[in-house]
A = this chain, B = another copy of it.
């Protein structure tokens, strides 16, 4: 099978898209943007061995490749609309590709995203997605908008993906049922797009948690010239991780704060918005938890219920670490 057969067979699928003038198959795709909307652009490269294991199921890989990009849109409050995918693979295996593309298009369809560009080449397991989303003009959840006294919230449960990875790497063990929950989170993160859109009118700053909460919230603090206090005992996770005697606090804190791969949102909002945020979370069927407060200190302070200060050994995932 040649590159062109591949593109024809799998990527050239018709999708309903009112703004799409010309889809895949020319030197470029053409989009006619809606007036009154801003466009959001983000790109992510996933490399085999670093961001995923190359024996991953094609369905899981397809999900992750798109979902991590949708998560960037969610963090802006943007609705993902179009994606471009580049793939380097050592060989083109018919069955593998069918499973990969079916899962990719299923997720794209679920989020109303059209694939408008693709490049395939021989190489060693690299996937790159560029995602384009939209928000109503001048609305966006930016990192530089946190305000003194804001509540700090996170979505979903943190630390599951990192715990699953540690099991995979034989650094720890978990009961099978707990591991299954963690592994599902690691392999199939659910982008918080619906909540992101709701937060456009409610939150100040937002960011997705892909490299670990401690590192990622620091981007907000730096951009907004503020500090934060977070109570680590409030960070939502699986009770089986939280309450187990099997783990040292340092291990648990690593998962919750620095493990990475959570693809949840951390956002800040005025305390006056608490009820509205809970209602929005309900509409988006996404759990949210208040874990701290924006302070004047310009630093991130981690405390526990007892009021003790927590020190992290590593802040988060460094892509060249």
B27:A320 contact, CB within 8 angstroms:
no
A21:B33 contact, CB within 8 angstroms:
no
> Chain A: interface residue count, which band?
35 or more
A39:B43 contact, CB within 8 angstroms:
no
A86:B142 contact, CB within 8 angstroms:
no
Q: How far is the CA of A123 from the CA of B128 in the complex (A)?
A: 13
* Interface membership of A305, Cβ < 8 A: no
Considering the complex, which residues of chain A in the window 25-41 have a beta carbon less than 8 Å from any beta carbon of chain B? 25-33, 35, 38-41
B72:A28 contact, CB within 8 angstroms:
yes
A83 to nearest B CB, angstroms? 10
* Interface membership of A156, Cβ < 8 A: no
B123:A50 contact, CB within 8 angstroms:
yes
Q: Give the chain B neighbours of A29 by CB distance below 8 A.
A: 40-42
Can you name the residue of chain B whose Cβ is closest to the Cβ of A120? B319
Which of B32, B42, B45 contacts A128, CB < 8 Å? B45
A to B CB contacts below 8 Å, 27 in the list: A1-B320, A2-B318, A2-B320, A2-B321, A3-B318, A21-B140, A26-B143, A26-B144, A27-B72, A27-B143, A29-B41, A31-B39, A32-B137, A41-B82, A42-B117, A43-B84, A43-B85, A45-B88, A45-B119, A47-B126, A50-B123, A51-B121, A84-B130, A86-B128, A119-B128, A121-B320, A126-B126
Q: Which residues of A contact B (CB under 8 A)?
A: 1-4, 6, 21-22, 25-33, 35, 38-45, 47, 50-51, 72-73, 75-76, 78, 82, 84-88, 91-92, 116-124, 126, 128, 130-133, 135, 137, 140, 142-144, 206-208, 223, 318-321
